[in-house]
């Protein structure tokens, strides 16, 4: 029909985005005004309108976000690349890449499993392969809509204060795997709302992407490298539930005449099937180089018992652990429940807790 725009909905988690199929430059990306998560399924039949959230605060209209680009199969995305997260659906911008070692137990060579012990944990021999992740900023407008499925403080530090328990968090800073990037372009000079966007990036229309790193971003990356660096990623799938773990060393503190070493670990749970399941329990085993083996059991994770479904297939959270030794290991299981009331255990891949040998003073905040 003349004057009509063909479009289809792009479902990403529980988020609804609309892609216009008209135009030669590529599919356009729209979101509900007022934030990505405000767009209900019923809006797939709604006529496209170019209104802002200021005009319609209830957020039931579409506003233009940008134009999708073809995802890169090879090579890396550059600093300043705008993207939509393929799992959690938030808008973001790439700051810089990390080359991590991915230990994927799903593709590990079949080998006899060993008896459980602190060194092997009944695990297969797994060789790491290089995989690209990105440090990114999350658009603040989307944070409220993903808070039930992904924490938006993926980076925390031990604050450099007298209080050894103080933690410092950077809101809206995340790590994203290369395959989770859905790149797009925008004509907006400030397309991402985050307090660090204009401090870190400068608009330059002669560049592609048109956002280049400021010196403040380079200085911040260099000064905080030990606490930002992503080095190892561990992944394993059990009964179509994939668990990905990324550990980070946070630093050491002295407490009661002893040294206490701290790590944070980020975990993502993904349901690769269409069946609905709910996480009910966690069971951790934590081995310290000092020779101690601790068992931790509890309901859910971070106070939640997330449901993983076809519409909301993933949940991501971060937590922390401390040891009175410079290294250790963690492994365990998550117990899930099916709709019929039956349960099954999902393995958490074993991962190492290693401290940085070149110990440096942790940052007290954002260094420029």
43: helix, coil or strand? helix
Domain residue ranges of the chain, discontinuous segments joined by +: 67-107+129-354
**What H or E segment, with its residue span, contains residue 173?**
strand 173-177
Residue that has been written with the tokens 């002295």 in this structure: 254
| pLDDT the model gives residue 257 | 82
pLDDT score of 60:
53
The arithmetic mean of pLDDT across residues 317-331, rounded, is 93
Q: What is the mean pLDDT of residues 81-108?
A: 93
Q: Identify the band that residue 62 occupies on the pLDDT scale cut at 50, 70 and 90.
A: low
Neighbouring CB atoms inside 10 A of 328's CB total 24
CATH of domain 67-107+129-354: 2.60.40.1470
**Cβ–Cβ under 8 Å, residues 304 and 254:** no
pTM score of the predicted model: 0.80
d(CA 302, CA 233): 21
CA angle 221, 224, 229 (to 5 degrees): 80
Q: What is the pLDDT of residue 6?
A: 31
Indicate if the pLDDT at residue 283 is higher than 60: yes
pLDDT 10s digits, 338-362: 999 999 999 999 999 998 755 555 4
Question: pLDDT higher for 140 or 47?
Answer: 140
| Residue 287 CA neighbour count, 13 Å, CB half | 16
- pLDDT tens for 162-194 read 444 556 677 888 999 999 999 999 999 999 999
Query: What is the C-alpha separation between 15 and 44, in angstroms, rounded?
Result: 12
Residue 53 has pLDDT above 50, yes or no: no
Least confident residue range of 83-97, 223-237, 263-277: 223-237
pLDDT (0 to 100) of residue 292: 93
pLDDT confidence of residue 137: 95
pLDDT of 293 over the 80 cut: yes
Q: Per-residue confidence at 335, pLDDT binned at 50, 70, 90?
A: very high
> 15 near 37, Cβ under 8 Å?
yes
Q: Give the range among 45-54, 140-149, 327-336 with minimum mean pLDDT.
A: 45-54
* pLDDT attached to residue 51: 27
The model's confidence at residue 155, banded by pLDDT at 50, 70 and 90, is low
Confidence (pLDDT) at 250:
86
Average the pLDDT over each of 40-54, 94-108, 120-134, 208-222 and give the range with the smallest value. 40-54
Mean of pLDDT over the chain: 79
pLDDT value for 255: 76
Cα–Cα distance measured from residue 138 to residue 307, given in angstroms and rounded to the nearest whole number: 23
Closest CA to 352 of 246, 218, 194, 227: 246
Per-residue pLDDT, averaged over 59-63, amounts to 60
Average pLDDT over residues 65-81: 94
Average pLDDT over residues 193-205: 95
Question: pLDDT tens digits for 100-132?
Answer: 999 999 886 444 444 444 444 555 678 889 999
């Amino acid at each position: 029909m003349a004057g009509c725009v063909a479009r289809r909905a792009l479902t990403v988690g529980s988020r609804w985005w609309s892609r216009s199929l008209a135009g030669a430059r590529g599919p356009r990306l729209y979101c509900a005004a007022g934030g990505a998560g405000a767009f209900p399924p019923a809006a797939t039949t709604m006529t496209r309108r170019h209104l802002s959230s200021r005009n319609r605060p209830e957020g039931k209209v579409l506003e233009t976000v940008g134009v999708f680009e073809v995802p890169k199969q090879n090579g890396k995305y550059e600093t300043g690349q705008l993207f939509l997260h393929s799992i959690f659906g938030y808008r973001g911008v790439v700051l810089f890449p990390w080359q991590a070692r991915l230990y994927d137990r799903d593709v590990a060579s079949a080998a006899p499993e060993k008896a459980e012990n602190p060194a092997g944990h009944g695990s297969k021999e797994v060789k790491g392969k290089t995989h690209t992740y990105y440090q990114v900023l999350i658009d603040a407008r989307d944070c409220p809509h993903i808070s039930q499925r992904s924490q938006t403080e993926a980076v925390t530090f031990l604050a450099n204060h007298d209080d050894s328990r103080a933690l410092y968090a950077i809101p809206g800073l995340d790590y994203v795997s290369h395959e989770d990037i859905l790149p797009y372009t925008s004509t907006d000079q400030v397309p991402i709302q985050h307090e660090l966007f204009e401090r870190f990036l400068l608009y330059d229309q002669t560049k592609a992407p048109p956002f280049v790193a400021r010196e403040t971003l380079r200085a911040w990356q260099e000064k905080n490298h030990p606490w930002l660096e992503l080095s190892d990623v561990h992944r394993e799938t059990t009964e179509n539930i994939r668990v990905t773990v990324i550990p980070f060393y946070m630093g050491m503190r002295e407490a009661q005449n002893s040294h206490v070493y701290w790590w944070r670990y980020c975990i993502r749970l993904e349901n690769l099937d269409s069946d609905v399941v709910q996480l009910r329990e966690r069971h951790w085993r934590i081995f310290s180089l000092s020779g101690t083996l601790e068992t931790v059991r509890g309901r859910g994770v971070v106070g939640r018992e997330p449901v993983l479904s076809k519409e909301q297939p993933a949940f991501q959270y971060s937590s922390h652990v401390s040891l009175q030794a410079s290294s250790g290991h963690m492994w365990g299981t998550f117990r899930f429940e099916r709709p019929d009331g039956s349960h099954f255990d999902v393995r958490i891949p074993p991962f190492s807790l290693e401290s940085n040998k070149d110990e440096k003073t942790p940052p007290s905040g954002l260094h420029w």
